[in-house]
Amino acid sequence: MITQVPHNLPAEPNRFVGRVRDVAELAALVHEQRVVTLSGVGGIGKTRLALRVAAQQLSRFPDGVWLVELARIGNPELIVNELAEVLGVRDEVPGRLLDGLRTRLRTARALIVLDNCEHLVERCAELVAGLSAECPELRFLLTSREPLRVPGELVWRVPPLELPDERHPEAESVLLFVERALAAGASGVAAVMDDVVRLCHALDGLPLALELAAARTSRLSPGHIADRLAGRGGERLGLLA
């Protein structure tokens, strides 16, 4: 009999492309390490990668895999409330919500994904360090532009997607761009692969930038987009948005 593992992970909005080795490596690390932080620049794909890994770990965490989204939270003191809401822990005694979380998680074999920790690093670090110390079976998978620097944290730098070269013209970045461009209604992309390769290099294999560029191919050719990006450096995402 297959037991349904509780979770609140969202359905993937579209097909996950590439990062086969990254997902396999992280799956092993999440099983072995108490705290794994996916770190990297904005747009590198930390959140999408974390959710992909978490979804593949459901069978290993019978007490649940839980996503806590922090991007919209500005007050560090609300992190505990957000986690409690996700886990269904009520503040039965005013001011003792963290105690309720400790009780809920003390023996739980669960994975908690804290997404977008960078603007709340100090409070996230306190919470993760405290719960890790008191809940031996609990695991954390975090996304943050900078590490939390807590005991036992393994920082995994998210790389850009593989770029094409002469031996591997259909690299991950190319596959992602072409699939998203076709989904956006572009036609004739396969006939201008030299321009697609040039565009992937211009965007350094950055997944968000590739997605934004692909969304514009119903109106602009890959070559035209690459030409407009030439020499723009750090303004690339702003130009594509």
Q: How far is CA 74 from the centre of its chain?
A: 20
The per-residue pLDDT for 239 is 56
With a cut of 50, list the residues of the chain below it in pLDDT: 1-2, 234
The per-residue pLDDT for 169 is 79
* Residue 47 burial (C-beta neighbours within 10 Å; 0-12, 13-18, 19+): middle
The per-residue pLDDT for 143 is 98
The per-residue pLDDT for 207 is 95
Per-residue model confidence as pLDDT tens digits over 63-94? 999 999 999 999 999 999 999 999 999 876 65
User: Is residue 27 within 8 Å of 144, Cβ to Cβ?
Assistant: no
- Residue 7 DSSP label: B
Domains identified in the chain and CATH numbers: 20-157 (3.40.50.300), 172-240 (no CATH)
**What is the model's pTM?**
0.90
Q: For residue 156, list its beta bridge partners.
A: 38
The per-residue pLDDT for 92 is 63
Q: Helix H segments across 107-183?
A: 121-134, 172-183
CA–CA distance, 169 with 68 (Å, rounded to integer): 38
- Neighbour order of strands in the sheet with 65-69: 65-69, 111-115, 139-144, 35-39, 153-157
CA-wise closest residue to 155 among 118, 181, 189: 118
Cα dist. 155→45, 162, 202 in Å? Answer: 15, 20, 27
